[in-house]
Amino acid sequence: MSQSNLDDQLREHYAGKQLDAVRLRALDAQLACAPRRWAAWGWAAAAAAACVLVFWGLSAREGLAGALADEIARNHDEDLTIECRRYSRLLERMPRLDFDLREPRDLPQGLQLVGARYCSLQGRIAAQIKLVDEQGRRHTLYEVRDGERFRGLEECSVPREGLRIRFWREDGLVLGLASPD
């Protein structure tokens, strides 16, 4: 069978085929609704994009404080390497720090020093200091030398993983205190 003969036979076969009027009207009705359906999808996509932008905007606003809070929350339960009850002794036992460790003036009352360990915040060497309150709950204080990396950080409080992390500055240091919420 030649190609032209096959083409002719197919044309003849399908020429006699037609949709009945009922099915034709049903298809026309579906096509008439199609633009509305696409419009609904368009509105849904626009709403989803708006949600993404809002959440992205909130996380961007949190910026450096959010990144620091994430680091602090991850390290909050780390074990101590230096047990100590006085800040003056702690400074002697942490000679690798590039700043003078000190007891913050703005520390809540009733917190007792338990010990510390070296850590880092935003790639800078820092002290992670363990404190306990009168109820025996663990608090973690972070001290790091202030510098260019922390320029955008303002005094604030950020919630993370059941903790409230407060940031402030004292005497050339950036301090972060993680306390149970």
- pLDDT digits over 18-60, tens only? 767 777 777 677 766 655 555 566 656 655 655 444 444 444 4
Task: Give the confidence band of 8 by pLDDT, cuts at 50, 70, 90.
Answer: confident
Task: Give the contacts of 23 (CB within 8 A, at least 6 positions apart).
Answer: none
% residues pLDDT > 90 (the chain): 51
Q: HEC profile for 128-148?
A: EEEEECCCCCEEEEEEEECCH
Cα Rg, the chain, nearest whole Å: 33
pLDDT of residue 35: 58
Query: Rounded mean pLDDT of 138-153?
Result: 94
33's enclosing H/E stretch is helix 21-75
pLDDT of residue 148: 92
84: number of Cβ within 10 Å: 19
The C-alpha atoms of residue 78 and residue 116 are separated, in whole angstroms, by 10
Do 112 and 132 contact (CB within 8 A), yes or no? yes
**Which of 171, 143, 146, 167 minimizes the C-alpha distance to 156?**
167
Q: Is pLDDT of 64 > 60?
A: yes
Q: What is the DSSP string of 100-115?
A: -----TTPPTT-EEEE
Residue 63 in tokens: 């910026």
pLDDT of residue 78: 86
Which superfamily is assigned to 62-180 in CATH? MucB/RseB, C-terminal domain (3.30.200.100)
| Residue scoring higher pLDDT (126 or 106) | 126
pTM more than 0.75? no
